[in-house]
Amino acid sequence: MAPPDVQARVAALRREIERHNHAYYVLDRPTVPDAEYDRLFRELQVLEAEYPELVTPDSPTRRVGGRPLDEFPKVRHAVPMLSIRTETDTEASGAQAFDARVRKELGLAAGDPPVEYAAELKFDGLAINLRYEHGVLVAAATRGDGETGEDVTQNMRTVHAVPLRLKTAHSPVVLEVRGEVFMRRDDFERYNAKQREAGRPTLVNPRNGAAGSIRQLDPAVAAQRPLSFFAYGLGEVQGWRDAPATHSATLDALVELGVPVSTERRVCRGAQALIAFHDDIAARRDQLPFDIDGVVYKVNRFTLQHELGFVTREPRWAVAHKFPAQEELTVVEAIEVQVGRTGALTPVARLAPVFVGGVTVTNATLHNQDEIDRKDVRVGDTVIVRRAGDVIPEVVAVVADRRPQPAPPRFDILQSYPVCPECGSHVVRLEGEAAVRCTGGLYCPAQRKQALLHFAGRRAMDIEGLGDKLVDQLVDRGLVHTPADVYDLDLETLAGLERMAEKSATNLLAAIVASKATTLARFIFALGIRNVGETTAKDLARHFGSLDKLIAASETDLLAVRDVGPIVAQSIAQFFGEPHNLAVVGKLRAAGVHWPESAGTQQSAGVLAGKTLVLTGTLPTLTRDAAKEKIEAAGGKVAGSVSKKTDYVVAGAETGSKLAKAQELGVAILDEAGLLALLEKD
C-alpha cells in the first residue's frame, strides 16, 4: 500500500502535468520549459512504477500508447452520430435558403423575430465520440455508419488536447462529447519535413493524417503524430445538473470543463448574420491554423431543435455551408527545380492553370525525388492538386487511368539537372538523404544569404553585427556575392545602408577586420560544408593541422578522422572538389583571413580519447562551452543525448531528464569536480 504522502504527491503531479498539457496543447501558452515538464513526468512514471496500485486510466502517463491491437472492437452509439445536410451553394444564398427553410418549418411569418443560430467551423478531420463517466474518459469511438463505430480509446488517449478527466467537482454521470480530431497545418508540415529527412513516408494531407493516425492499430504511432481536437456537440448525457438550454451555452460549458472548443464561433440572429459569419470566415480561411471546408449553422435553442426534428436521418435544425474545394484536377505541363537557401533542389510541377482554394494555381511542389518516385508523377499526367491556406500547393496523387499513352518517361533530377541551374556547380545526392543538392555552397546565388549568415555566426567567424537584415541589404544591392566580398566592404558603403549610422558601420568594420585572425576549426565550420558541424570541424583541424592538407585529402584519408563516416567524408570531398568553392577560399585567404597551423595528429591520445560525454544542468564554475572545450581537448566527444554508448554524464544543478536517463542506463555520473579530476590525469 502506497504511503499517504506518496498518494498525495502522485495526485499533485497529475494535476500539475495536465494543467501544463492544457496550457500547451489547448491554449497554446506553454507555462514551463520542456526540461521542467520532463522532470515532473519522469517523477510520476517512477512513482507509478514503484506503486502500480496508484495507476489510473486518467493518468498523463497513459498517453504514451498501449499495446498494438489486432482489430478495433465495434461500439454501438447510445445516441446515433448522424451527419448533417450539406449546402453546396457557396454563395450568400446558401445561408438565406437554410434560414428560409427553418422559418417555414417553425411556422414563422415575415414579421416574426429572427431565429437565433449558433455558427461555427466545419473542421476537416475525423469525427469522434468521447465518453466520460463521472468525469473520467472511459471510451472513444469513431462515427462509423452513425449507429456503430470503432473503439479507438487507446489512440485517443494519446491526443494531449483531450482531457482524461473533466475539470469539475460535480461531473455528470455520463457525458459524451462529440468533436473532430484534426492536424494543424504547421504540425503537418513539421511532421512531414522530419519524415522526409529520415527517409520515411509522409502524410498526404492534414485530414488523412488525422484520420489515419486514429484509425490504425498501433497506439504508439498515434502518440507520435501531432493531433489536435475541438468539441462541437454532445451525445448521451445523464445526470448533468443545470444543463444549458442552448448549443452555444453548451460549448461554453465544455470549455469550463477543460474540453477544447474553437473560439471561431458566434451566435447569429437571422440570415444576414449567418451571411456575415460565412463571409468573415471565408475571407480569413487561409489565415486559420487548420483546414476547414465550410461553416456550420445550428438552431441555437434545444427546444426549437426538438420541434424541428429530423428528415431522412438528417437534422432539420443544422446545415453545413461549404466553401470552394481545395483539391482539383489539372495537368502537369513540365517539371523544373528551384534551388533553396541550403542548396536543395526542390522539384516543382508546372501546371495547366486551375482554380483551387480561391486562387488560380500554376505551380505545385513535388518535394524531392523520393516523392516523385512514390507518387510516380510524370509530365503529361492528370493530377490532384491541393491548396490549403498559405501552404504551398502540392501534387497529392496521379490519376493513373488518364496517363497519356505511350507513357511519358520518369523524371530524374540528377539526369535532368547534372549542374545547378543557378550557378553551374555540380549537383549530388548523398547516400541516405532525400534531397539533391548543389555543391557550390560559397558561390551559389540561391544559397548566398544562408552562407553569409552561417559564415558570420558567433561559432564561426564571429562577425558581430552582420545579421539577417544587413545581409539582406548587402545581397539585394549586389554588394556581396560570396563571403570573401565581406572583407572588401568599406566605411562609406556600410554607412550608406539603411539603419546603419557611422558608429554602427565603424563597429561592424572593426568586427570584420578582427575576424581575419581566427582558428582553423572555426574557418572550416564557417565554410558551411554539409554535415560538418562544430565538433567535426575541430576534429578535422586537429587531424590535418592545415587547410591545404584537408583540401587535398581523399575520402579514404577523411575516414581516418574520428567520427567521420562515409557520408561526411563524401560531403567534404565534394565541397572541396567544386572549383567555385576553392576560388572563394582562395579569395578569403588573399583578403588576410589566417589561422595558426600545425603538423596535425593522426589520433587524439588524451585521457578521454574514444569516450562520449553528455553535459546536463549548470556547472558551478565552468560554462557549457568551456566544459566542452576541455573535454574535446582531452580527446573526448560531447553528445547531446544519453544512450548506451555514453561513457559519462557530467551533471550540475537543475538537471533535466538526461540525468534520470543516465541513472536508468547505469551510466557513470560526474560532477564538475569529478570531471576536472579526470582531466588532470591527461
- Based on the fold, state whether residues 144 and 265 are members of the same structural domain: yes
Give the 3-state secondary structure of 215-270: CCCCHHHHHHCCCEEEEEEEEEEECCCCCCCEHHHHHHHHHHCCCCCCCCCEEEEC
- Based on the fold, state whether residues 307 and 264 are members of the same structural domain: yes
Q: What is the pLDDT of residue 601?
A: 74
CB 201 within 8 A of CB 234: no
Rg (CA), the chain: 31
C-alpha cell recorded at residue 232: 462541437
Q: Would the pLDDT of 431 be above 80? A: no
Q: Is residue 164 part of a domain?
A: yes
Q: What is the pLDDT of residues 241-257, one digit of tens each?
A: 889 999 999 999 999 99
Name the pLDDT band for 112 (thresholds 50, 70, 90): very high
Q: Tell me the pLDDT of the chain averaged across its residues.
A: 89
- Based on the fold, state whether residues 386 and 511 are members of the same structural domain: no
Q: Would the pLDDT of 378 be above 80? A: yes
Lookup result for grid cell 461531473 = 171
Beta-bridge partner residues of 269: 116
Q: What is the pLDDT of residue 573?
A: 94
Domain count across the chain: 5
Residue positions annotated with a catalytic role: 122
Q: What is the pLDDT of residues 86-96, one digit of tens each?
A: 887 778 889 99
Residue 604: which of 515, 651, 541, 513 has the closest Cα?
A: 541
Q: Would the pLDDT of 34 be above 70? A: no
Q: What is the pLDDT of residues 327-368, one digit of tens each?
A: 788 999 999 999 988 899 999 999 999 888 667 889 998 989
Q: What is the CATH number of the domain that holds 485?
A: 1.10.150.20
Per-residue pLDDT, averaged over 181-205, amounts to 83
Per-residue pLDDT, averaged over 177-202, amounts to 86
- Based on the fold, state whether residues 477 and 559 are members of the same structural domain: yes
- Its domain, for residue 552, covers 432-602
Q: Is residue 507 part of a domain?
A: yes
Per-residue pLDDT, averaged over 508-532, amounts to 95
Q: Would the pLDDT of 391 be above 70? A: no
Q: What is the CATH number of the domain that holds 221?
A: 3.30.470.30
Name the pLDDT band for 325 (thresholds 50, 70, 90): low
**Among the three residues 602, 633, 654, which one is the final residue of a domain in this structure?**
602
Residues of 83-98 as b/e, b for ≥16 C-beta within 10 angstroms?
A: ebeebeeeebebbbbb
Q: What is the pLDDT of residue 396?
A: 85
